[in-house]
């Protein structure tokens, strides 16, 4: 029931706000088929077929750890595409989006909240997401605190500090901002003091070490950190859990040749997870395969949250 109530609250907030422009791509892209993502250019002069493909995973945790986690998959992509494939350890969501917009990033996993901005401003074409063996997918936003903090309910956050990750993060900022206002009438800077940690692991560690009273985080990240014993369950208390949201969306830059885009898609959907470091790491949060998704359908709730927060996608 909580999940239904949460979405209803977000939708109600969006409806109550002044109308915002509908989701729109940057003028540098076209969307002739109306699927909300950039079309592949029809002019051969605008297409690129690089010798080396650059891949980046969303910057939620230690990039050095994830370079090793992804290597087996990148080797598989290299074999299928005939390209060299390199892991690019991005430090922020903004840097990742700018890299694709500038043509320096070809294949990527953008976090849930950054997907709309990457699609609108960087020509990102998402097509895949991690899922469990039965096809189920997603994570929840949780608001966490530490034992003995004096915070037992969301209302107890009034007058205290709360950590977010970054303004482009769904679970780390957008969703909790909309939910706190819609369900609890609480606004950052008025009812509590916000801080920005930069990443989910920073927020989780900050709460566990009592640097932050509370934080809004993706529980998929928290689950993997608990499995790796980076933090322990007795350091964390969850006081709120949202509806389920889509996870990191994987896709390509719009201007790769159609043939190369097809081979990259094949790499995702033909990858054998069994016995890989990818399975070892993401299996901690129950993910065992890549499934096909569409931005238009699967990110609808995220665009609703963005509307509730008054987000405008400004692309310079």
Question: Residue 11 has what pLDDT?
Answer: 47
Residue 256 DSSP label: B
CB burial string 109-128: b at 16+ within 10 A, e below? bbbbbbbbbbbbbbbbbbbb
CB 157 within 8 A of CB 240: no
Closest by Cα among 175, 52, 60, 153 to 103: 52
Question: Residue 209 has what pLDDT?
Answer: 97
pLDDT tens sequence across 252-286: 999 999 999 999 999 999 999 999 999 999 998 89
Closest by Cα among 213, 119, 219, 84 to 159: 213
Question: Residue 6 has what pLDDT?
Answer: 46
DSSP of 165-211: --TT-IIIIIHHHHHHHHHH---BTTTBEEEE-SSHHHHHHHHHTTS
Domains recognised in the chain with CATH numbers: 14-135+248-308 (3.40.190.10), 139-245 (3.40.190.10)
Question: Residue 42 has what pLDDT?
Answer: 96
Closest by Cα among 258, 275, 264 to 85: 264
Question: Residue 307 has what pLDDT?
Answer: 83
Question: Residue 60 has what pLDDT?
Answer: 61
Question: Residue 282 has what pLDDT?
Answer: 93
Residue 259's Cα: distance from chain center in Å? 27
Dig out the tokens for 307 from the structure: 């509307």
Helix (H, G, I), strand (E, B) or coil at 100: helix
Dig out the tokens for 245 from the structure: 């949201």
Q: How far is CA 74 from CA 66, 90, 122, 201, in A?
A: 12, 16, 22, 24
Length, in residues, of the chain: 316
- Spans of the chain, pLDDT less than 50: 1-7, 9-21
Q: How far is CA 111 from CA 172, 273, 307, in A?
A: 10, 21, 18
Residue 265's Cα: distance from chain center in Å? 19
Question: Residue 3 has what pLDDT?
Answer: 35
Cα–Cα distance measured from residue 192 to residue 123, given in angstroms and rounded to the nearest whole number: 36
């Amino acid at each position: 029931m909580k999940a239904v109530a949460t979405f209803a609250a977000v939708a109600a907030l969006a409806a109550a706000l002044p109308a915002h422009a509908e989701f729109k791509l940057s003028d540098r892209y076209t969307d002739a088929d109306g699927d909300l993502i950039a079309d592949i250019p029809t002019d051969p002069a605008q297409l690129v077929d690089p010798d080396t493909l650059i891949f980046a995973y969303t910057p939620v945790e230690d990039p050095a750890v994830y370079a090793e986690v992804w290597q087996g998959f990148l080797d598989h992509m290299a074999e299928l595409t005939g390209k060299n494939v390199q892991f690019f350890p991005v430090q922020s969501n903004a840097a990742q989006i700018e890299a694709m917009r500038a043509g320096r990033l070809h294949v990527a996993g953008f976090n849930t909240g950054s997907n709309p901005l990457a699609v609108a401003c960087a020509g990102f074409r998402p097509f895949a997401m991690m899922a469990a063996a039965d096809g189920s997918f997603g994570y929840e936003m949780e608001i966490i605190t530490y034992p003995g903090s004096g915070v037992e309910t969301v209302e107890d956050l009034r007058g205290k500090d709360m950590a977010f990750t970054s303004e482009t993060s769904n679970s780390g900022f957008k969703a909790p901002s909309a939910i706190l206002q819609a369900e609890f009438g609480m606004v950052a800077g008025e009812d509590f003091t916000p801080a920005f940690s930069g990443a989910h692991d920073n927020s989780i560690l900050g709460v566990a070490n009592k640097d932050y009273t509370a934080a809004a985080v993706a529980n998929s990240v928290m689950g993997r950190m608990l499995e790796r014993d980076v933090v322990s369950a007795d350091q964390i208390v969850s006081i709120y859990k949202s509806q389920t949201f889509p996870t990191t969306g994987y896709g390509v830059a719009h201007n790769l040749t159609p043939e190369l885009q097809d081979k990259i898609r094949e790499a995702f959907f033909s990858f054998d997870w069994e016995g890989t470091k990818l399975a070892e790491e993401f299996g901690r949060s129950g993910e065992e395969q890549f499934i096909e998704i569409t931005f238009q359908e699967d990110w609808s709730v995220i665009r609703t949250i963005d509307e509730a927060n008054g987000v405008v996608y400004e692309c310079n």
